Amino acid sequence: MAQTIRRNAKPVRRQARAQASKTKVRKAKAKTNSLIDALMRFLPFTEDQLHKTFLVLILGATAALACTVASLAGLTTLAGQQFAFAAADAGYEVSRVEVRGVERMNELKVYERILGERDRAMPLVDLHVLRGSLMELPWVEDARVSRQLPDTIVVDIVEREPHAVLRKPDRLMLIDPAGKELEPISPADARGMLQISGLGAQGQVEALAALLDAAPALRPQVTEAEWVGNRRWNLTFKTGQVLALPQGDENSKGALMNFARLDGVNRLLGGKVAAFDMRNPDRIYMRVPGRAQQAIESGS
């Protein structure tokens, strides 16, 4: 009997190995499925819920990517503008400006910085930029800008406190306690205020305040303070009398307190002495008008 031999037939051993590999794969799949099934039993959600969760994550990542691409293409800006225009059509645009906290400064200066926003859609108003513009005004120490929907911009101003008058070569300037210039002031309006002069005096305003605080009884009597030689103060009182103080913060404070004690005992202010010189820590020199002429006449 003839036997048919197939060409390219796999050897018996190779077939056996292939069959064994398939068996191992089936067992591994079965083991993996059994492990997944066991894990699913411990999870607080079903397999269907898990599939939906992964689907949401995939869709979210796709949406984020789409937003990024749209932003790069300028579509986000365009959408924002369209939204702003729609808001304006609905009445959400600037038609009123309300300013609060202004007492001394010119209120029109504030309105000038804000009125450029009139008829602008509320979503397009940049509050940070507006605040920065207001902070450039000399009188403004702090400012807060907010929206009051549907149509009002509210500005709250914190003004600087006027402290003294700085005498400059060509004009008088109102300044705050830090020496910041607020606005020019007329001689008539400056009357009764402390006037400060001298080269570099503007940078010494806070130091002068600390000096005068050392003798609170004398402070209301001081009408002028001259910064001399960029190193020390001459104080002028309401009586017109002048007190020359030594240089150095501690030395000048000590001299001023000593003068206050002497004045309390001997009533120096309002007397015949026109000028007091306390630059020498050991003694006080006093100048009386006409005293030198009297000495000359008596000696003759």
Assess whether 201 and 273 both reside in one domain: yes
Structure tokens, 184? 């020019």
Question: What is the pLDDT confidence band of residue 16, given thresholds at 50, 70 and 90?
Answer: low
Predicted confidence at residue 296, as pLDDT, reads 47
Judge contact between 122 and 149, C-beta under 8 A. yes
Q: Which of 140, 159, 178 is the last residue of a domain?
A: 159
Assess whether 287 and 171 both reside in one domain: yes
Judge contact between 282 and 256, C-beta under 8 A. no
Residue 263 lies in a domain: yes
Residue 71: CB partners within 8 Å, gap ≥ 6? none
Predicted confidence at residue 41, as pLDDT, reads 56
Question: What is the pLDDT confidence band of residue 244, given thresholds at 50, 70 and 90?
Answer: very high
pLDDT (tens digit per residue) in 245-270: 999 999 999 999 999 999 999 999 99
| Four-residue CA torsion sign, 130, 142, 179, 112 | positive
Assess whether 168 and 151 both reside in one domain: no
pLDDT (tens digit per residue) in 77-106: 544 455 444 444 444 677 888 999 999 999
The CATH number that applies at residue 174 is 3.40.50.11690
Mean pLDDT of 107-132: 86
Predicted structure pTM score: 0.65
Closest by Cα among 127, 165, 166, 131 to 147: 127
Assess whether 217 and 260 both reside in one domain: yes
Of 63-67, 232-236, 282-286, 287-291, which one has max mean pLDDT?
232-236
Q: What is the mean pLDDT of the chain?
A: 80
Q: Which of 146-160, 185-199, 201-215 has the lowest mean pLDDT?
A: 146-160
Assess whether 168 and 294 both reside in one domain: yes
pLDDT (tens digit per residue) in 43-72: 554 656 556 555 556 755 766 676 666 565
pLDDT exceeds 60 at position 285: yes
Rounded to 5°, the CA angle 161-167-170 comes to 120
Based on the number of CB atoms within 10 Å of its own CB, is 219 exposed (0-12), middle (13-18) or buried (19 or more)? Answer: middle
Predicted confidence at residue 71, as pLDDT, reads 61
The CATH number that applies at residue 129 is 3.10.20.310
Per the structure, the complete domain to which residue 104 belongs is given by: 88-159
Residue 20 lies in a domain: no
Q: Which of 114, 137, 159 is the last residue of a domain?
A: 159
Residue bearing the bigger pLDDT, 239 or 92: 239
Q: Which of 133, 159, 185 is the last residue of a domain?
A: 159
Assess whether 248 and 154 both reside in one domain: no
